[in-house]
Each structure stands twice: as C-alpha cells, then as structure tokens.
Structure 1
Amino acid sequence: MKKLVIFLILSIVVIGCSKENKVERVSKVDSGTIAEVQTSQNQNNAEEKSQSQKVSSEKEKKVGAKSQKDNLGKKSSGTYTKELNSRMEKLEKEMQSKLDSGVTSEMVNANNELYEAWDKELNKVYKLLMEKLPADRKEKLKKDQRAWVKIKEEKANEAAKEADGGTLAGVLYSGTATGLTKDRAIELAKMYDNLK
C-alpha cells in the first residue's frame, strides 16, 4: 500500500512539472517517512542566463561609451549639461555614505575620488570648447581657466585653514576643491550647450 501511495505521489509530481522546469526527484523511504531530494536544472540555466546578461550588459556599456565619445565631438544638442549631471549623479550617490561617515580618511578619499571624476569631466568639456570656439574666445577661455585654477587653490587652502591644522583640514580642502571643480565643469558644459 505504501508503495502505491509513493508511486501516485511521484506520478503527480512528475506530471505537474513543466518541460521548461525539468526537476529530477529522488524519493527515499526511511522509517515510514518520505524524504525528497530535489535537483534542478533551472539553477544551472539561471546561472548561464545571469552570465549571459552580464556579458550583454558589459557590451552595451562599451557601445554606449563609444557612442557617447563619438557624440562628444559633434555639435552640441543642448543637452551636454544634462548628460554630465546624469553621468556624475551615480558616483556622487555612491560616495555620499563615505562623506557622511564621519571618518576623516573615508571623507577625504571620497572627496578625492569625486574631485578626480569632476576634473576629468571639466577637462573633457574644456577640450570640446577649445575645438569649437573661435580664436579670440579660445584665448579668453584659456585666461579665464588659468585664473579659475588659482582661485580654486586659494579657496581650498582658505577652507583648510579653518580647521587650524586639525584632522578636518584635508576634508575641508578636498571638499572645497571638489565643489569648485564641479561648479566649473557645469559652467563650461552650459557654455558648450549654448554654442551655435
């Protein structure tokens, strides 16, 4: 009688499994109880699908980066500033927890990482402007940029002095330099968007 019940249960389970979700069931009768050990091919399929999606995602990122790079050399569509903010927003969100941590070294490292990223973006848009501007405006932009670099350094040093040599000096310096670099990158991006 027990064998008949086990056979019926197994038959129902096997029939209930879809072809897509192949499941192998092994039943074991031990002291009057039925224990089922289940192995699934879905786990392997899910892992393969996940790997495939990762590879596909990486390819899409590379294609997107190449497309973005190609588009940078073209005439501005008026959205460079939006694209810049969108690119940087993710990094800023990632760094926010470190900036809020209260741990000086984490705060300085986060500011430095943000500074490097904003500085890279600033240099990129500066180069784009230099390619598009007429000669007289190029010279003015060069002078303005040199003056801005000096002002940035002065303001960052002034901010650091507020800590009177304390551990927050590095945080104040790097935070000020980052904020000023971000503002300047956005300013140049808007200038680029306004080119006719």
Structure 2
Amino acid sequence: MKLKTCLVLFALLLTGAGFAQTKSKEDKIDSELQQCLDKKENQSTAGMVDCAYKALNKWNAKLNTTYKSLLAKLDSTAKNSLIEAQRQWIKFKEKEIDLIDATYGSAHGTMWRIVRAQKVMDITKQRAMELEDLLETLKQMQ
C-alpha cells in the first residue's frame, strides 16, 4: 500500500480514537505522538509503528502513576475494588490484544502493523484516562 494511503489511514485512526474518548482535551502524549508522526523519518510503516509504541510506553507509565496515586487516596474497601478492577482490566487487555492479533495478524499489507499498534495503544490510553478521571473526581470531592 502506498505511503500516502497509510498516512491517511493512520490519521483517521488517530481522529477516531480521539472522538471515542470521554474527555475532549488533548493529552501531552497525544501531542508528542503527532510530533513524532510528523517527522519525515517516521513517515514509513516502521516509523509510524515506532511512534505508536513510544506513545504506548508513555500511556503505560501514566496509567501506573495514576493507579498508584489513586491507591494512596482510597479507603481499604475502595482500594480493594480498584485492585480487583485493575486485575480484571489486565485480563481484558490481554484478551483484546489476542483478538487484535487474530484479526489484523493475518491481514495482508504493512498498514495493518500500524493499525495494530494504534489499537493496542488505544486500549491502554483509554484505561489511563479513566483512572485519571477517577483521580480528578476524588480531588474535587475533597
């Protein structure tokens, strides 16, 4: 598939992912991802996939930091609920990635590597934002 088509598809994926989020604000990680994608050297399949995985690592770090902050603010009952919810989310994430791999792994064309990377990143991004929303709500309640 041509590079321009891949770039358009990836841009549409980014736009669609933004509409699916509960918050309309753009996160710093999203801005950094876009800056990475805008670099000429990253306008290849490998470059776009690399940008998405760098963003995934940042979303993972944000998720973990927010999770730890939440644990520190919760009473024991809520803390146990969060721990169990996170365990279940990890199982969900693993199964969702299995589905993504089963679906896109057999597709022909390198653009599907980009789609896979974006979808895996979106799973973690969504959870990080959900936990961030919860943390913000707790701060407002105090």
Shorter-chain TM-score: which interval?
0.5 to 0.7
1:176 to 119, 123, 139: 119
Q: Which has the higher helix share?
A: 2
2:63 to 115, 122, 136: 122
Larger radius of gyration between Structure 1 and Structure 2? 1
The separation in 2 between residues aligned to 1:104 and 1:111, in whole angstroms, is 11
The separation in 2 between residues aligned to 1:95 and 1:162, in whole angstroms, is 27
Matches within 5 A, 1:9-158: 85-97=26-38, 101=43, 103-158=44-99
- RMSD between aligned residues: 2.6
* Structure 1 ranges of 4+ moved more than 6 A: none
Q: Structure 1's 180 and 169: CA in aligned 2 closer, same or farther, altered over 3 A?
A: same
The separation in 2 between residues aligned to 1:95 and 1:128, in whole angstroms, is 29
Q: Structure 1's 89 and 174: CA in aligned 2 closer, same or farther, altered over 3 A?
A: closer
Q: How many residues align?
A: 113
5+ long unaligned stretches in structure 1 = 1-80
Q: Which amino acid aligns with 2:93?
A: K
The separation in 1 between residues aligned to 2:83 and 2:134, in whole angstroms, is 14
**C-alpha displacement of 1:142:** 0.9
Query: Looking at both structures, which has the greater relative contact order when contacts are Cα pairs under 8 Å and sequence separation is at least 6?
Result: 2
How high is the TM-score relative to the length of structure 2? 0.67
Q: Which has the higher strand share?
A: 1
How high is the TM-score relative to the length of structure 1? 0.50
